[in-house]
Amino acid sequence: MDFTLSEEQLMIQQAARDFAQNELLPGVVERDDAQKFPAEQVKKMAELGFLGMMVKPEYGGSGLDTLSYVLVMEELSKVEAGASVIVSVNNSLVCWGLETYGNEKQKQKYLTPLATGEVIGAFCLSEPEAGSDATSQKTTAIDKGDHYILNGTKNWITNGSSASTYLVIAQTDIEKGHRGINTLIVEKGMPGFEIGPKENKLGIRSSDTHSLIFNDVKVPKENRIGDDGFGFKFAMKTLSGGRIGIAAQALGIATGAYELALKYSKQRKAFGTEISNHQAIAFKLADMHTHIEAARHLVYKAAWDKDQGNNYDLSSAMAKLYASQVAMEATVEAVQIHGGNGFVKDYHVERMMRDAKITQIYEGTSEIQKIVISRSILKN
């Protein structure tokens, strides 16, 4: 494996870095305080091709590899994880799922506007009693011949009110267990589809997270992705790729916090010298840098596996597990290095610490990742 970035990848990385500094950084504290969705910034990310990065150009995408997507996620997440998760969901979960498993009619109707950023999408799996456990779906889709009647509630849905296209996982035949689950494409505005209140979150506050309520929503059967009963496999494969995006987000949060702490340590003085000259601080920075580099290699390896057509269930779970741990540890240390200023919003690291926590929870908690990893290594 050679992770030397190509000229094109370096250009993409720089474009994302410039965008993050020039478009996301101004106003990031205010958006966090007000839980304001970054609508204008999302529009500009669409213009840069960031919302359909891995989608083929014939469907309006950029046709780029997974590593390029990881580079963009990392740069955006250094500044505003609430904005980067919008990119992650649209790319990793919605666009990828539709392009990989949708039929041609579905791709033309739904994938193209999603890839171009004309609209954004949402992935609807989690429920009040079913987070990462897709087999425990309470949302039902009753087969009525040429359509399904959808009933249930989905929780913690990113892009909940801002999306126009929703991929909803639902149980069609409970007696079949995971073989009775389907994925339906639901459009905003379908009768009976309601968007619940916005969640008041600890972190990633600029992304809009809502519950979704489905009351006898009539969904055409042509909106089902794949054969009858394919929904569980769809959810598992899509989540596996989604973990790469969240691992990249965690990597970006950790790197952004480290860079701020490093810069601050060279400016702040205590006991007659810059605090970076004190071994207690220097050793913290050394540990942060080492752990971040280790996380980066795991994330890049998972992206490489996906691009090579290898099975990436294990590598994506390891990348997500470790990178999210590093994000939490690095942001806590960044706050510590900043001292009292680390508790102040204008220094950004307190927000990064809050944002880091969610990377250990969504796309499967750390415990879920350990289940995936242990099953993989123990079956051999």
Q: What angle do CA 41, 164, 24 make, to 5 degrees?
A: 10
For 38-89, the pLDDT digits (tens) are 999 999 999 999 999 999 999 999 999 999 999 999 999 999 999 999 999 9
328 CB-near residues (< 8 Å, 6+ apart): 353, 356, 357, 359, 360
Q: Mean pLDDT, to the nearest integer, of 20-26? A: 98
DSSP 4: P
Q: What does the mean pLDDT of the chain come to?
A: 96
Q: Count CA atoms closer than 13 A to 241's CA, side-chain side.
A: 27
Residue type, 36: K
Q: Mean pLDDT, to the nearest integer, of 326-344? A: 98
User: pLDDT value at position 54?
Assistant: 98
Least confident interval from 176-180, 278-282, 286-290, 311-315: 176-180
Count CB neighbours of 271 within 10 A. Answer: 7
The three-class DSSP label of residue 123 is strand
DSSP 380: -
Chosen CATH of 122-231 out of 3.30.70.260, 2.40.110.10, 3.30.70.141, 3.30.465.10: 2.40.110.10
- The pLDDT-based confidence of 128 (bands split at 50, 70, 90) is confident
- The pLDDT-based confidence of 3 (bands split at 50, 70, 90) is confident
- The pLDDT-based confidence of 380 (bands split at 50, 70, 90) is low
User: pLDDT value at position 130?
Assistant: 72
Residue 242 CB-density burial (10 A; 0-12 exposed, 13-18 middle, 19+ buried): buried
User: pLDDT value at position 170?
Assistant: 97
Structure tokens at 143: 């087969």
CA 299 to chain centre: 13
User: Is the separation of the CB atoms in 105 and 180 below 8 Å?
Assistant: no
232-378: CATH architecture: Up-down Bundle (1.20)
Quick one: which of 289, 181, 278 has its CA closest to 238? 181
Active site positions, annotated: 363
Is the per-residue pLDDT at 182 higher than 90? yes
Residue type, 264: Y
User: pLDDT value at position 106?
Assistant: 98
For 202-244, the pLDDT digits (tens) are 999 999 999 999 999 999 999 999 999 999 999 999 999 999 9
Residue 273 CB-density burial (10 A; 0-12 exposed, 13-18 middle, 19+ buried): exposed
Domain residue limits, the chain:
7-120, 122-231, 232-378
What is the share, in percent, of the chain residues with pLDDT greater than 70?
Answer: 99
User: pLDDT value at position 132?
Assistant: 64
7-120: CATH architecture: Orthogonal Bundle (1.10)
Q: pTM of the full predicted structure?
A: 0.96
User: pLDDT value at position 364?
Assistant: 80
Q: Mean pLDDT, to the nearest integer, of 100-114? A: 98
For 266, phi then psi, to 5°, come to -90, -10
User: Is the separation of the CB atoms in 366 and 324 below 8 Å?
Assistant: yes
More confident residue, 312 or 132: 312
- The pLDDT-based confidence of 136 (bands split at 50, 70, 90) is confident
More confident residue, 129 or 256: 256
Is the per-residue pLDDT at 134 higher than 80? no
Structure tokens at 366: 């750390």
Distance CA 45, CA 23 (A): 10
Is the per-residue pLDDT at 184 higher than 70? yes
Same fold? 7-120, 232-378: no
Q: How far apart are the first and last CA of the chain?
A: 23
